[in-house]
Structure 1
Amino acid sequence: MAINLTKLTNAEYQLDGIREAIDGDNAIKPSDPTAYYTASGNPPGVWIGSAARLLGGTPGTTASSRTVRSLINERRDPATGRYLGDTALADGDSGRAPVAGFDLTTRQPKSVSILWAFSDADTRRRIDQCMDRAAQMTIDYFEHAVASTRTGQAGVASVACDGVAGFVFDHYDSRDGDPQPHKHIVISNRVRRSQDGVWTALDGRKVYASAVEISEYHENLLQDLLTKEFGWAWTTRPARGTQAVIQEVDGVPQELIDAFSGRHSQIQAKVDQRVRQEEQQTGRKVGPRRRAQIDLEVWRETRKAKPKIQPSLDEKRRHWYDKLGRVAPGIQIDTMLRDVNARHDQPITVDAAGQEDAARLLIAQLADREQIRGGADAWLDMNAERATEAVGQTHTTWKATNIRAESQRLLRTVRLDPTQRLTACNAIADETTSRCVKLTPTRYRLPDGAAGDPTIALHDGRTVFDDPELDKYTTQDILDAEQLMIDAFDRPQAGGYAPGAGKAWLTAWSRETERHGGHPPGGRPARRRRIRVGEPAAGRRDHRARRHRQRPPP
């Protein structure tokens, strides 16, 4: 994943090893520009989020450690010292430390880190700008699509908030000292409720659910921005030990990527060993989800302590050049840079007056690019099928955020105008959602004239009691398979199945399912309806799932 989400109780990890904001809070840049290269320690935190202005901050300007600790650790307004929220919850719930915020830790392909480490100052500055822009666009999307809060008894209603506030911290290397510029995007858990101005907490349900989607979006954004800025092309390489693929800048040798991925190689070796041991003990193959859990466990166990005083960027770069001479003496950086810059690509962009027109034109271009017979409709149909199949392989039920994450993955190898990427991905997501069966009932209807009332209405015409981001979906195929299994085990059997008979039946059922093209015997494919690009979700028919009474096997 390009972004890892971590729940925070304080910001001490992010503040460890940073240098103070020399010019104090809300400084646009240090008074000495050379400090970027020569000063010890990581740079100070920088304000992010539209709600920063509610707390005396300005997005894009520096923040002192005192300011960061006031907002994140103490949940206070740094400008006034006022506690943000109910002081009765200051000590946490049931003795547990309160959630102070969330850390979205970014990362990028290792080839980008290598180009950043060994390029000239101007190229490095432009790469930094692309990373800054990707982080800002990700925060903007987080505010628009994820950030909300709750109100009412037990938080029954999902309501809007006035943006988020936090800080971004730039770090330059990995725990093993390899080049790895990355950002810790620290978002405060405190938000101001739009309807009454009360400070409360983010809706954590949506934050956690959206983690994969946010990661996929950020990864695509950064690659789009780098291609737009430099014209770099990308090549797809398999990720070791998983079914995932990695996009690397075309022209950066794999030898160099491996040489500066020491921590990654160490983790993968330990993960492979753990997987083999578990498979021998259980007799079952370790699936992708369990492997991801093992990967996280090993990542935490093998983290090295950071140096107490961070060397300057100049010192780090000298170390990287020394290592380059030892581990890859045959690679000439100048030759590599010429090779990278000789392989050109450019993002697809369209000139459109509105979002619906942009979606239609983008899809037409993508269909032509892939030479899809049938044009835009066939291309959209193909990708909706792929998205449905992909989410169905890893989930029996899912949310809209899972579908949007999959649409981002489907367009991973396509470079788009970063400002238009969401338009193309959401077109796939909307078409995919229209083919799913909605399991969550819509319980309430908005009264006439209440569409603009934030105390009861959401922006898409639903009530605050029926947040569409919390809706669950499945497919008719999965429901048919479920019903078939229930019916099979519900057949009258004298004394139940004979030894081995149940397994034999299940094997035969699986073979029949495969013979019928993936559909269960006696089942039927899901009914599908063509949805025009841009058709509002509110205008679609809500599907209701059949409710099955669970019965134990005989």
Structure 2
Amino acid sequence: MMDVRLIKRGQIYRYYLRQVVVGDYLRPVRTPLGIAQIQIGVPPGRWTGRGLADLGLRPGAIVTEDELRQLFGQGRHPHGDRLVAEALAAGKKPAVAAGAGKLGRAVEVTGMDLVFRPQPTIQLMWALGDEETRQVIETAHERAIEATLAWIEDHAATIRVGAQGRYPTRPVHGLAFARFRHYESRAGTPLLHDHVLVSLRGLRPDGKWGAVHSTTLLENVVAASSLYNELVMAEVCEALEVASEPRTVSAGRRPVMEVAGVPHELIGWMSKRGQEIDLCRQELEHEYVTAVDEDGNLKFGPVVSEEARTKLNRIAARKTRPPKPEARSLAQLRADWRAGAKEFLGEAAHLVDSLLERARAAAAAIRARVAETLDVALAALGVSAMVFVMSSNGLFHRRHLLAEARRFLALVQRGRRREPSLDETIVNAAIATHCLDITEPKTTRGLLLGYRLYTTHWARPDPTRSRRRAPE
């Protein structure tokens, strides 16, 4: 999954430099960042992204506290203080030298925090398997993150230019990301996840710095999350010779894909924190669907959309957040997790030592009955129908089709890798064959491919439908 939250000016001091960069533990006062990370047992953050060179940063370089403070806390160049000092030393006037550290005009939102975490059964194999399995899964996790970030750079990152920001353009070289690895949840259970801080500053084609449009990124979160989910499962399955299968988590909701053969009982052991969040989210969902306005009408409708559920889940996570337990090294964590899992299973404790073997045995049966080729026409029909049904008013954008195509591929591929452009091929076929463009653009933005408004050909004609908004 991929969760997201905005980073605002000044927030980097209160939350990220005190907790996120040190595994969500509370960083000791006046302890240098590198030392605190060593003491707590988390690796240092690393820079990644195609836009690093524009900021004088190197891929894979360690993220320093000063760079975080300037780029995300102040919206300045990560080496802004040094650039200003060099300009002053060169004889520039203070007012002119100050410009050397700026990245365009000041904005309130300086970045986004994307949190990537694999599916629970992958977490279990990572936490309870041998060292080789752990390394394979971490590599798969990293590859899936890199591919998702590349998709964001190519398709979701835009800078608004022109009068009133009517014309979008891509950052010419890409974006800069600071990635931090964490190993456990706040309940002390296994939770491999990465915080990826996205700088919302990008270089425009005219050579000036601009603000990356956060709304566009937020609109594409579900499509990006679906891509990560699909890719991390495929990478793990291919590398470990296992397969995936659907698992129903909640009645009435679509299943999620998990590694076949891994005992689901262990998910209950691992997901104590998740169960607390789910209970709180269910209460919030009840308040959501029963909320009424002054006239007694439902404010949000009787159905909780995927986007609304994601937001409510984030609220529930904040409301139920406990303090983290005492810091332990990854080796100690893994030893404690194995002991805890065996105690939880009791007489079935031997399953902990045979997770990979059981998963490979289950994969052999699954792959024997799964076709290696995909019927694109049938996939396009299924994706179109699902998006139409899941939409509250039968309207949708291209990004909704793309997210559904990735969910569909994860379901039918069962852990096999697919051609990188197959999701786009399915979406193009869906739009060409089953979708009706009903866009009535009133702005330049509305003319863009990503904001065309669709319904399906089999939808009942409704003269007011085109004036409604698609779900976000």
TM range (shorter): 0.7 to 0.9
User: In the alignment, which residue of structure 1 is the partner of 2:103?
Assistant: 85
* Alpha carbons of structure 1 residues 281 and 209: separation in structure 2 relative to 1, 3 Å: closer
Aligned partners of 2:149, 2:180: CA distance in 1, in Å? Answer: 14
Q: Which runs of 5+ in 2 are unaligned?
A: 24-33, 82-99
Match of 1:295 in 2: 313
Tell me, yes or no, if structure 1 residue 190 matches structure 2 residue 188: no
Q: Distance in 1 between matches of 2:288 and 2:427?
A: 37
What secondary structure is seen at the aligned counterpart in 1 of 2:266?
A: helix
Gaps of 5+ in 1: 21-30, 93-97, 349-363, 368-378, 445-462, 487-544, 549-554
Structure 1 CA distance for aligned equivalents of residues 311 and 52 of structure 2: 35
Q: Which residue of 2 aligns with 1:474?
A: 455
Aligned residues of 2:118 and 2:141 also touching (Cα < 8 A):
no
1:469-511 CA distance string (max 9 Å, x none): 222222344461x23xx7xxxxxxxxxxxxxxxxxxxxxxxxx
Paired amino acid for 1:177: G
Map of 2:145 onto structure 1: 135
2-structure distance, mates of 1:546, 1:6: 31
Q: Partner of 2:333 in structure 1?
A: 316
Q: Give the Å deviation of 1:77.
A: 1.8
Partner SS state of residue 223, structure 2: helix
Equivalent-residue separation in structure 1 for 2:220 and 2:342 (angstroms): 42
2:402 corresponding residue in structure 1: 404
Residue among 170, 173, 178 paired with 2:189? 178
- CA deviation digits over 1:180-220, x for unaligned, max 9? 10011111011111x21111111223211111000000000
Cα distance in 2, alignment partners of residues 39 and 128 from structure 1: 22
Aligned counterpart, 1:456: none
Between 250-259 and 272-281, report the one with greater CA deviation: 272-281
Whether 1:305 and 2:323 are equivalent positions in the alignment is yes
Q: Do the aligned partners of residues 399 and 464 (structure 1) sit closer, same or farther apart at CA in structure 2, a change above 3 Å counting?
A: closer
User: Partners of 1:123 and 1:410 in 2: how far apart?
Assistant: 27
1:124 CA drift (Å): 0.9
Number of equivalences: 418
1:433-484: CA deviation from partner (whole Å, max 9, x where unpaired): 223222336899xxxxxxxxxxxxxxxxxx999432222222344461x23x
Contact 1:220 1:408 in 2 (8 A): yes
Instruction: Evaluate the alpha carbon distance shift between residue 345 and residue 100 of structure 1 in structure 2; reply closer, same or farther with a 3 A threshold.
Output: farther
Partner residue, 1:327: 344
Match of 2:180?
169
Distance 1:204 1:268 in 2: 28
Contact 1:111 1:249 in 2 (8 A): yes
- Normalising by the residue count of structure 1, what TM-score does the alignment of the two structures yield? 0.68
Q: Tell me which of the two structures has the higher relative contact order, counting C-alpha pairs closer than 8 angstroms and 6 or more residues apart.
A: 2
Segment drifting more, 434-443 vs 155-164: 434-443
Per the TM alignment, residue 317 of structure 1 is displaced from its structure 2 partner at its CA by 2.3
Q: Does 1:44 align with 2:44?
A: yes
Q: Which residue of 2 aligns with 1:439?
A: 438
SS of the residue aligned with 1:62? Answer: coil
Distance 1:318 1:198, change over 3 A: same
The 8 Å contact of residues 180 and 196 in structure 2, kept in 1 or not, is answered as yes
CA–CA distance in structure 1, aligned partners of residues 136 and 209 of structure 2: 38
CA contact (8 A) 1:158 1:467 kept: no
Corresponding position of 1:247? 257
Q: CA deviation at 1:158?
A: 0.8
How far residue 142 of structure 1 moved from its aligned partner, in angstroms, is 0.9
**Which structure has the bigger radius of gyration?**
1
Give the conservation status (yes or no) of the 8 Å contact 1:72–1:101. yes
User: Which whole-Å CA distance do the structure 2 matches of 1:53 and 1:347 have between them?
Assistant: 45
Cα RMSD of the aligned pairs, angstroms, is: 3.4
Match of 2:427 in 1: 429
Query: 1-side partners of 2:446 and 2:344: how far apart?
Result: 59
3-state SS in 2 of match to 1:42: coil
Q: Deviations over 1:32-86 (max 9, x none)?
A: xxx99x8524222110110112212222232112222221112222234444433
The one of 336, 341, 351 equivalent to 2:355 is: 336
Query: Does 1:121 pair with 2:131?
Result: yes
Work out whether residues 244 and 415 of structure 2, in 8 Å CA contact, stay in contact via their aligned partners in 1. Answer: no
TM-score of the two chains, using structure 2 as the length reference: 0.79
Report if the CA contact (8 A) 1:70-1:77 is conserved: yes
Instruction: Decide whether aligned partners of structure 1 residues 153 and 345 sit closer, same or farther in structure 2, where only a CA change above 3 A counts.
Output: farther
CA distance in 2, matches of 1:416, 1:268: 27
Flag the 1:304–1:196 CA change in 2: closer, same or farther, 3 A.
Answer: same
Cα distance in 2 between the residues matched to 1:132 and 1:188: 19
User: 1:7-46, CA deviations, whole angstroms, 9 ceiling, x for partnerless residues?
Assistant: 11144534435469xxxxxxxxxx9xxx99x852422211
Contact 1:159 1:464 in 2 (8 A): no
- 2:127 is equivalent to residue 109 of structure 1: no
Letter in structure 2 aligned against 1:304 = P
In the alignment, structure 1 residue 210 sits paired with structure 2 residue 220: yes
Give the 3-state SS of the residue equivalent to 1:63 in structure 2: coil
What amino acid maps onto 1:163 in structure 2? G
Structure 1 pair 382–79 and aligned structure 2 pair: CA distance change class (3 A) = same
Equivalent-residue separation in structure 2 for 1:269 and 1:470 (angstroms): 35
Structure with the higher fraction of residues in helix conformation = 2
